[in-house]
Amino acid sequence: MIQDFEGTTAVLTGAGSGFGLECARIGAQRGMKLVLVDVQADALERAEAEMKAAGATVMARRVDVSDASQMESLAEEVYRLFGAPHFVFNNAGVGSSGLIWENSVRDWQWVLGVNVWGVVHGVRLFTPMMLDAAKADPNWRGHIVNTASMAGLLTPPNMGIYNVSKHAVVAFTETLYQDLRLVTDQIGASVLCPYFVPTGINQSHRNKPAEMADEQLTRAQVIGQAMSDKAVGSGKVTAAEVAHKVFESIEADRFYVFSHPKALGNVRSRMEAIVNVQNPPDPFMERPEVGEQLRAALRGA
């Protein structure tokens, strides 16, 4: 847990928008040195300018978090300029929809590259330097937060790649938590599992690799995009509110961070089905009209 953020360093991926930007704003208010990472140049430039105007020490880098060499260069530069970071927020993520057998190999590579490999690189590169800092100073404290999703605890249909990627992040982060507990009491870990929050993730296609520009969307993907736009756009919980929950989790050494705790009822139903050896429950149990609309649309009714 970190109690005093003044003078500490934060590395935030996906810092140009959403949770990353809001956590950067809180970090600036609390006197942190900020490493802002994003693949979208214009958003990154705006975030950098805002944080500098707020008086923060800022390093901004355009990085594809799925690229090992780019992340390695970033980590080396962070260590050279600031030493080991105290807060690492592996937050960059992209969304995707469609029936799970329809997605192309490039779809899988893109989503898993950002959502899973981005987290892998952030942890494998920054954790060793954090452990070294903790070993050298018994008062040093650090924390790693990985952004997953409620889709990492559920299996909503027509968004298979995203589900797979976020389940991986949950399992990865739970294991990270357990592994850290074996070797140190000075570094914590948390997993952020947001539900529908207006962050811009439903517009992830804006940052798709150029070689994917010619791909035609399937009917299911078009339907899924429309549903995502509606659900995310109507979200009542803001990214800023979730960012405050992230900092609260660091201060309290709390592992699970939820934007919508009421959605845990669906998680309970899924877990009960597993331990009772039952088939997966209806994901639309609480909103049957949504399920009916989706089935009708996909079956051409």
pLDDT of 21 higher than 60 = yes
109 domain-assigned: yes
Give the DSSP H/E element, type plus range, for residue 58.
strand 58-62
Domain enclosing residue 28, as ranges = 9-263
294 domain-assigned: no
CATH number, residue 42: 3.40.50.720
165 domain-assigned: yes
Q: Evaluate if pTM is beyond 0.95.
A: no
Residues 98-112: tens digit of each pLDDT: 999 999 999 999 999
Tokens of 85: 């970071």
Please state, in angstroms and rounded to a whole number, the distance separating the CA atoms of residues 109 and 282.
Answer: 29
Locus of tokens 């899988």: 108
Please state, in angstroms and rounded to a whole number, the distance separating the CA atoms of residues 208 and 23.
Answer: 24
Q: What angle do CA 264, 203, 74 make, to 5 degrees?
A: 90
Residues 208-224: tens digit of each pLDDT: 676 766 778 888 888 88
Q: What is the mean pLDDT of residues 89-100?
A: 94
Residues 243-291: tens digit of each pLDDT: 999 999 999 999 999 999 988 999 999 999 999 999 999 988 878 888 8
The count of domains in the chain is: 1
276 domain-assigned: no
Q: What is the pLDDT of residue 196?
A: 82
66 domain-assigned: yes
284 domain-assigned: no
190 domain-assigned: yes
Q: What is the pLDDT of residue 108?
A: 96
282 domain-assigned: no
Give the DSSP H/E element, type plus range, for residue 178.
helix 160-183
Q: Tell me the backbone φ, ψ of residue 19, rounded to 5 degrees.
A: -65, -35
Specify whether the backbone of 265 is left (phi greater than 0), alpha (psi in -120 to 50) or beta.
alpha
Q: Tell me the backbone φ, ψ of residue 102, rounded to 5 degrees.
A: -90, -15
More confident residue, 18 or 233: 18
